[in-house]
């Protein structure tokens, strides 16, 4: 039995970078320290600003929360199941002069309300990420950012990935860390009625198929139906091209619930377009 412990501990150890509380499973998990370089790159990849509310799920000693508040001026909150680590986090935040911009909650990360967060950071086991995925997609607003360290979200592919070498990883033995960014996608799936004076008959029917942030679709203008070219969805922003005799029409818009508003460019001309979701 003792010979199995190192492997068990290594498998369970997850935290939100920095010495962050490790992955929370159905009960508890230990936390391990993550290199400061990884902490910095995660926050940088998320593009944290003073306007953000950062939530660190499994916050350990509060290092990521403190860094978000101190370096970027953000409001930040850590969620941690270990009361001793929560107390330590509060002490550390006060010592670093950011006690007024940070909050630490003792509790279950699956039960905390995430709807107000604009940035979520996690360093959790794959199984926990998978269980957490639906909650993140349901509660976070489109355009919110999710950053994970080392472990992905399975079939939900990241929008951006980078790998860095961290000399302090693995208790000073060094190692490569993978940092992944997701932008919470708007709900684009469905049929839309598109209006624009630059189109034949002043409008078209737009159909979009969606798998997380990956989209494809087609547009019907009268009896002519064409596939969207290079469709892209990043948060609330949608882009796609439509082939035309005079050259591609380039659509850019922003999704707001059941409405899309944007501009379409054809050659040197640009005009507005609007779409409403079909009921």
202-220 confidence digits (pLDDT tens):
889 999 999 999 999 999 9
Is residue 4 scored above 50 in pLDDT?
no
pLDDT: which is higher, 208 or 268: 208
Radius of gyration of the chain (CA): 22
pLDDT in tens, 174-205: 899 999 999 999 999 999 999 998 787 788 99
CA–CA separation, 2 and 259 (whole Å): 60
CB hemisphere CA count around 105 (13 angstroms): 15
Tokens describing residue 107: 């509790």
Distances (CA, A) of 121 to 88, 168, 200, 257: 19, 20, 46, 26
Largest CA distance in the chain: 76
The label of the residue with tokens 């990043």 reads 234
In sequence order, the β-bridge partners of residue 229 are 241
The answer to whether residue 25 scores a pLDDT higher than 50 is no
Is the pLDDT assigned to residue 23 strictly greater than 50? no
Give the CATH architecture of domain 190-277. Beta Barrel (2.40)
Contact 262, 272 (CB under 8 A): yes
What does the pLDDT read at residue 277? 97
205 beta partners: 193, 220
CA distances to 44, 48, 99, 119, 276 from 71, rounded to whole Å, are 10, 9, 14, 15, 41
Distance CA 233, CA 238 (A): 5
How do strand 249-256 and strand 237-242 relate by DSSP bridges? antiparallel
Greater confidence (266 vs 91) lies with 91
Please say whether the beta carbons of 12 and 30 come within 8 A: yes
pTM score, two decimals?
A: 0.86
For residue 208, give both structure tokens.
């979009």
Domain ranges for the chain: 2-183, 190-277
- Residues with Cβ within 8 Å of residue 148, at least 6 apart in sequence: 121, 122, 123, 124, 129, 158, 179, 180, 182
Assigned CATH topology for domain 2-183: Rossmann fold (3.40.50)
Could you give the CA distance from residue 90 to residue 160 in angstroms, rounded to a whole number? Answer: 32
């Amino acid at each position: 039995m003792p010979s199995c412990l190192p492997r068990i501990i290594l498998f369970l150890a997850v935290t939100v970078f920095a010495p962050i509380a490790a992955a929370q499973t159905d009960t508890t998990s230990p936390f391990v320290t993550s290199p400061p370089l990884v902490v910095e790159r995660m926050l940088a990849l998320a593009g944290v600003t003073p306007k953000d509310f950062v939530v660190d799920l499994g916050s350990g000693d509060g290092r990521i929360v403190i860094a978000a508040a101190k370096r970027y001026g953000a409001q930040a909150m850590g969620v941690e199941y270990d009361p001793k680590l929560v107390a330590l986090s509060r002490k550390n935040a006060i010592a670093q002069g950011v006690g007024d911009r940070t909050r630490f909650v003792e509790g279950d990360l699956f039960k905390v309300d995430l709807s107000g967060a604009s940035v979520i950071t996690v360093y959790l086991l794959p199984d926990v990420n998978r269980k957490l995925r639906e909650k993140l997609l349901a509660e976070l607003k489109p355009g919110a950012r999710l950053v994970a360290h080392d472990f992905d979200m399975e079939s939900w592919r990241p929008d951006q990935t980078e790998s860095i070498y961290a000399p302090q990883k693995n208790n000073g033995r060094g190692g490569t860390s993978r940092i992944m960014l997701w932008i919470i996608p708007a709900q684009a799936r469905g049929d839309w009625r598109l209006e624009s004076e630059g189109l034949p008959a002043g409008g078209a029917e737009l159909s979009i198929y969606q798998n997380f942030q990956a989209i494809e679709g087609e547009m019907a203008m009268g009896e002519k139906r064409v596939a969207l070219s290079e469709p892209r969805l990043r948060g609330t922003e949608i882009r796609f091209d439509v082939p035309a005799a005079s050259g591609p029409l380039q659509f850019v818009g922003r999704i707001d619930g059941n409405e899309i508003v944007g501009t379409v460019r054809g050659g040197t001309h640009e005009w507005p377009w609007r779409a409403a979701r079909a009921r």
